[in-house]
């Protein structure tokens, strides 16, 4: 499939106008039309609905869009790696869940730099579903995330367990935590069930946030309590900025390593995994 046609498709889906795409890509409008026609003919479907003010994606176009984006990204990645093959010993693309990169990513990069200085490293931070899909597509070599989807061709292993503790801005007991002062953090699947089982009285919190750093900063500036990774609050507990809530259960949040079963660069991935296991807490 012509990569210029794919790139043109993505630009047209973004801009919605043939003339603007032609101007953006520095080609004629007839070239844009021809590329889209070639793409539609090869896929045997219409990708755009034409209107008086521009074009919009059809249902088939929407379906194809995510594949087109991945194709372009893989093409750019492959071209870059081939050009740099004479400079580097190899490359590793790793993804990490956006809430846990602080735990190990800087240390892993340092370990790789010290032990394999000839490798080119590419690091992405995102959420579980997208990271898993990137590994499946080959955009990333491996990912460390929470509750990845089990997809054909992927190998998923538990790498570590994140320990979550209930902390408060003032010393208190679990009995003093209620739905008015408790900040509920959605730490994703698995954790939700554990939380419901052990803390049914804290399911109707007034505050619900989707990122632990938001809750942490709130506790440091205001008053309340929340479950946060022990690794991220240990220093605050030591200096008295935060306090561990007495009689509160500890909750667990597993982290998983995701990679392809039959990866092309298997040896390089094993090196990256070795580094993760050396620096990862309880790995």
Domains and CATH numbers, the chain: 3-82 (1.10.10.10), 86-160+254-279 (3.40.190.10), 161-253 (3.40.190.10)
More confident residue, 238 or 24: 238
In the chain, beta strands by DSSP E: 48-51, 54-57, 90-97, 119-126, 142-145, 154-168, 182-185, 207-209, 225-229, 243-244, 251-260
**Token digits of residue 115:** 């032990």
Q: What is the pLDDT of residue 3?
A: 87
Site of tokens 């590419």: 122
pTM, rounded to two decimals:
0.63
Backbone φ and ψ of 243, nearest 5° = -135, 140
Closest to 13 measured CA to CA, from 77, 51, 65: 65
Q: Confidence band (pLDDT; 50, 70, 90) for 86?
A: low
What kind and span of H or E run contains 69? helix 59-83
* Percentage of the chain modeled with pLDDT above 90: 52
Q: Confidence band (pLDDT; 50, 70, 90) for 282?
A: low
Q: Of the given ranges (177-186, 223-232, 259-268), which has the lowest mean pLDDT?
A: 259-268
Q: What is the pLDDT of residue 210?
A: 82
Q: What is the pLDDT of residue 265?
A: 81
Asked whether residue 108 carries a pLDDT value surpassing 70, the answer given is: yes
pLDDT (tens digit, 9 = 90+) per residue, 19-55?
Answer: 999 998 999 999 999 999 989 988 899 999 988 888 9
pLDDT (tens digit, 9 = 90+) per residue, 165-191?
Answer: 999 999 999 999 999 999 999 887 667
Asked whether residue 83 carries a pLDDT value surpassing 60, the answer given is: yes
Average model confidence (pLDDT) for the chain? 88
Asked whether residue 1 carries a pLDDT value surpassing 70, the answer given is: no
What kind and span of H or E run contains 217? helix 212-221
What's the helix, strand, coil split of the chain in %, to 5?
A: 45, 25, 30
């Amino acid at each position: 499939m012509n990569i210029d046609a794919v790139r043109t498709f993505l630009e047209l889906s973004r801009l919605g106008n043939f003339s603007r795409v032609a101007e953006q890509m520095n080609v004629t409008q007839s070239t844009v039309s021809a590329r889209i026609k070639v793409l539609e003919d090869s896929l045997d479907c219409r990708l755009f609905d034409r209107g008086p003010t521009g074009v919009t994606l059809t249902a088939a176009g929407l379906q194809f869009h995510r594949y087109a984006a991945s194709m372009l990204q893989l093409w750019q990645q492959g071209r870059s790696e081939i050009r740099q093959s004479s400079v580097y010993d190899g490359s590793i693309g790793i993804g990490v869940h956006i809430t846990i990169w602080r735990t190990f990513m800087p240390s892993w990069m340092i370990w790789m730099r010290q032990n394999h200085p000839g490798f080119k490293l590419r690091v992405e931070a995102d959420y579980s579903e997208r990271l898993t899909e990137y590994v499946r597509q080959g955009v990333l070599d491996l990912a460390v995330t929470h509750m990845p989807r089990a997809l054909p061709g992927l190998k998923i292993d538990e790498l570590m367990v994140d320990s979550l503790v209930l902390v408060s801005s003032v010393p208190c007991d679990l009995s003093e935590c209620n739905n008015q002062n408790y900040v509920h953090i959605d730490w994703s699947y698995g954790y939700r069930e554990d939380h419901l089982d052990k803390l049914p009285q804290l399911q109707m919190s007034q505050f619900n946030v989707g990122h632990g750093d938001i809750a942490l900063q709130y506790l440091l500036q205001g008053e309340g309590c929340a479950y946060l990774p022990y690794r991220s609050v240990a220093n605050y507990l030591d200096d008295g900025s935060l306090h561990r809530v007495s009689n509160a259960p500890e909750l667990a949040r597993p982290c998983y390593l995701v990679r392809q079963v039959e990866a092309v660069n298997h040896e390089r991935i094993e090196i990256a995994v070795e580094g993760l296991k050396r620096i990862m807490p309880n790995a």
